[in-house]
Structure 1
Amino acid sequence: MQSEQQAYAYSYIRMSTSEQIKGDSLRRQLEMSREYAKRHGLQLDESLRDIGVSAFKGKNSREGALSNFLRMVEDGRVKRGSYLLIESLDRLSRQQVLDALSLFMDILRSGITIVTMSDGERYSSESVGNDWTRLIVSLSVMARAHEESARKSERLGQANANKRKRARETGVGMTALTPGWIDAHKITKGQYEFTLNEHAETIQKIFELTAQGLGATAIAKYLNAREVPTLKSKRGWYQSIVKRLLNRDDVLGTFQPHRKVNGIRIPEGEPIEGYFPPVVSKDLYDRAQRMRRRQQVTGRKGATFPNLFSGLAVCKHCGGPMACKSQTLKRDGLVHYLLCDNHNRGYRCHEGRKHFRIDHLENAILDNVNLFEHADVFQRQQVDKQAKELAERISAKETELRAIKQRETNLVSAVENATDVDLLVEQLRKRKQERQECENELRSLNQHRDDLTAEQSDALGRASRMKTLREQWRVTEDMDERYRLRAEAHMAIRDIVDLIICNSRANAVRVALLENMIVHEFQDGELVLTLDLTKHHVNDQKGSLTAQHFAGVGPDQAARLRAAEAHISRKYG
């Protein structure tokens, strides 16, 4: 609240780069303001600071401290007769003369006196009105400030453009800023070469563990247990750090140049391939990303991943999930069970009381893993059809993205050459958002295509891979390695198995594959039934059996499942 007896002076300090605050500029401007306020009996407010804000395009008058001051002047919170103290007029604006003059005059008309402390000049509506030559002086200062900024902007823009061009043509680094696993070595001014450093092996290990099925939490624990140094932090590895590294594209060696247009960061051309030395191969990167997309259950699953069927097992009687429970037995030690979670909580399930030992279920299924090989072949045929449809969608989205980028480029040129840029900048923001949304959609489609491609190549090897993993975890004594092997097996099982339906009444378990087109039933650890609709050329004709015959696991749909089994037995038994 302003005092009625003492006028207020507002010290406005602007520095276009945050680096200037480390020098003498801030101290000098503050001392000049304090001295002026003391000499003229003014109450000083030092809160107006725009650090790292440019006045060339008028950003400081639209955002930050100066814009807040202008709003307070407009609504009367800054009283008429107050003072705005600035080092020189170029702190207020470096815009083109007409824009700078408009801002200058609006402040004076609001009853605010502008004081430039470097030369002691005072500008008020009255003084400028009585002596128009003072306005000429202010105009010349504004013109000079704009010309200096325009030349500097042009030089910097051209220098950066040359750096980007040189980087694309020669692969020579344009900046010493690099990811944490890369060191920059200066060749000459503005030119650098890059080499992988001691952290590269850590990045590779993170992607390898991810591709094998470990989540970010498990990887962080793995690295901390081995006291692997982080890239920067002294406090060890966190899952958030691992996730950020897995999200980065520059691990492949790519670099996306950018430039700023009125404060908006715009990609400059396509990413530069091979700018950095790649720390992981494209194959490993793609496998890791596919595994991340497939991991729907988060968090570490015990010390050795005891439940290979996490997220797959349901109760036949109520359709609820099967929870993993543990119990220590005298003869067998620690044993893990699957139990209906609803029954365990006393919630609407009276029949799901059976405790299914996970090790028995695991042996029953993995002893018969060769039964999954036919499912692999059939799945590959279905994937081929999906891949063709997806290729057409990707082509259409790429055409749409090219059109958006062209519109964005046209707007950038218009902004750089315009006097009144506010409307164009808003349009540029909208085009940028539109481009990002289209890029995200295209990225999602490409990821889906990569997943399908991986399924095409992996589909024939999952069963044999599960056999190998099982043999390896049975002999290893390294608990982290056992966890990794079982996590990979878990993801391989999820690729093939849709549901594991646990029947407490019959002490039986059904394993449904390919949207329930193939069903294997196990009872007391033995395979007792196989229903395979794919071998009988099931189609969409009226009366044909479909996945719906096997989809129901709730009590109201159990009869449908039994009817489907009976139909199969009569026709093909």
Structure 2
Amino acid sequence: MTNKYYLYHRVSKKEQASSGEGIFRQQELTNNWIENENKRLILDGKEPYAEGGVYEDSGRSGFTDDNFKKGELGRLFKDVSRGRIRSGDIIVIELIDRFSRGKRKNVVKRFQNLLEHGIKVAFTKWNLVFEEDMDGVQGASAWMMFEIGLYLAHLESVQKSDRIRATNKLMKDKGYVTTAKTPIWLNRTLDRKGYEVVQENAEVIQRIYQLRMEGLGPQKILNSIGGVELKRYTYNTEEKLVVSSTNSPLCESTIKSYLANKAVIGVANGELKFEPIIDEKIFNAVQQKVVRNIGGGGKRKVFKNILSGIGFCKRCGYSMSYQDSTSTYGKVRSYLYCNGKRKRKQCDAKNIKYPLLESKVYEILSKLDYKDEESVDILSLEQQLKEIKDEVSSIRQNMIKFPNDQEFEKLYTERFSNQEDLELKLVEAKTSRSGDLSFLNVDYSRPEGKQQLNEIFKDYGIKVLVEDDIIEITVGAWNDFMIKGSLSSTVNPSAALNGKKYGSKGIDYDANTSIERYMLDAPKEDVGSDVSSELGKQVLNLYPEIKDHILKGNKQ
């Protein structure tokens, strides 16, 4: 079995503020190291490492044990315990301080755990590879470097924290900006007490967001914009704005970091600090991947799968991917396959013929409405709610650690009140959206129509589970209303709306039973208990074929 390499990178919040350059440096160093290592292995007649994956923590401190449990490093350790990263594989890291700056005892225990699984760990700065049972002088010197590096990393973190806290307080008292390095589209004002927009750089960032909203991914955006070299500016001793440095050419990973950087909406460390260059609604829409082809020139990626990101295997729960092929006679065959089957070898679900599934999903959901403005507004609320929930959780932890600090209690009361307000706004927004649905007229025979339909489905929180001939659709915007059926059955799309209207939690179209349509979970006071009620009569009129079953107390 071919051994694989895995790369791990980490930057703290302060490094993340400097436009992600810490990540880019680590990416370059680790990729160069494994490339040279593979060349050496080939020259020695050995098999090189195959690419396994990349784990990246942005804005996560290595000073505590939290990074071993959460984030990407936490996921890496879980993949080790699950056997995804196996004996003989290698993890490549720039230096010990990227792995952790924590206390020696805890870090050594975690590190030894990797080695005991037969996994090697390489530190590129030292050009050292650690593995289990390292003996002799070389092993002893390697472990000595590890211990010294770990001690210095922890000490530096403690000292840096104290020094930065003191310096920032002094600078803040004097009214000066204390950010280590501004985002690329900003520079400090002449008096160093504020920021000003570098227009030429801001226009590049705005163009990146525009193309993302039009449906282009980072690679396509790079192809469109090109390898632009953004310049940094500063004021010289003559008080003139001059170029201080030039960034490396724009690349795919840089574009990804710009698309995730909240500084574009003026936010840093949870506070509004800069002049926004991107509208907040656009930023939140991009975070939720609400991208659409809005028209206009230029080549676009052909979009083929309306269930992209929302289609899942009912048998194992993994996502499903689209694939097509063309026969020698020119006939195109397309289907969805389970990723649990293809990548993990953990599922035996059959491939699903795509055209039939696409037609059936559209037939059932063709009553959905679509409004772009409402979509962005709701996504914005969801993004804000997620952030404030994270903040409330963090404050709660501090209240436990510092029970006598009344400031945390006040802050918790304020933030929790904000959370409740946002939850109410979100419920109202979704109720408004799902309460007035009209016929959705989308030409999904064309790629742009398929993409638009896919984004509408995502907007309404739709999830599709498929197994053999069975299909289950959950509509999140309708309080997780479920629609069950068969790919081969004939259905009436309006029945789902009627079921929702009369209080059901779901509806089933099942061609394999004597009842083609019946309520999954009707209200207690209505169907099955009191068929004389007004609502009960209305439901029976909608579904006359279940009348006898209900009267006999058999709701199947």
Report the TM-score, using the length of structure 1 for normalisation.
0.40
More helix by share: 1
Indicate the structure whose relative CO is greater, using CA pairs within 8 Å and at least 6 residues apart.
Answer: 1
Report the TM-score, using the length of structure 2 for normalisation.
0.41
Bigger radius of gyration:
1
